Amino acid sequence: MLEKELQSKIYQLLKSTNIADFIYGIELYRSKADSAIDQSFTIKNILSNRYTESVLSIYEKFETAEYEVIGAESPKNMSLDRNDRLYPDFIVHDYEHNFFVFELKVISS
């Protein structure tokens, strides 16, 4: 699949339905969060736990909040430095002023 095709499919999902309905494997992260209590305080475990917390937090935002897609049809440069070029595929925000940046990558085999 080409990146442009993936962008189109994700955009349609974001506009027409709750994207959380199409996220699979969230139970894995919930079980990791439940078992994280017994882990030691190594850098690896701390980073893994933080990543798990972030995944669950973002998922819950998309599951429960209304959101709006910004600039998906004509992406805007979001860099604060005019010399940089940062064109994310999607910027999504909810009405609690949380912003989510989507940068899609397609790996060709």
pLDDT of residue 26: 92
- Sorted by sequence, the CB contacts under 8 Å of residue 49 that are 6+ apart come out as 33, 36, 39
pLDDT over 90 at 73, yes or no: no
61: in domain:
yes
CA distance 91 to 101: 5
Residues 79-101 have a mean pLDDT of 81
81: in domain:
yes
Q: Report the domain count for the chain.
A: 1
108: in domain:
no
Domain that holds residue 26: 3-102
109: in domain:
no
Residues 33-44 have a mean pLDDT of 77
64: in domain:
yes
Average pLDDT taken over every residue of the chain: 82
CA distance 97 to 70: 13
Task: Give the pTM.
Answer: 0.68
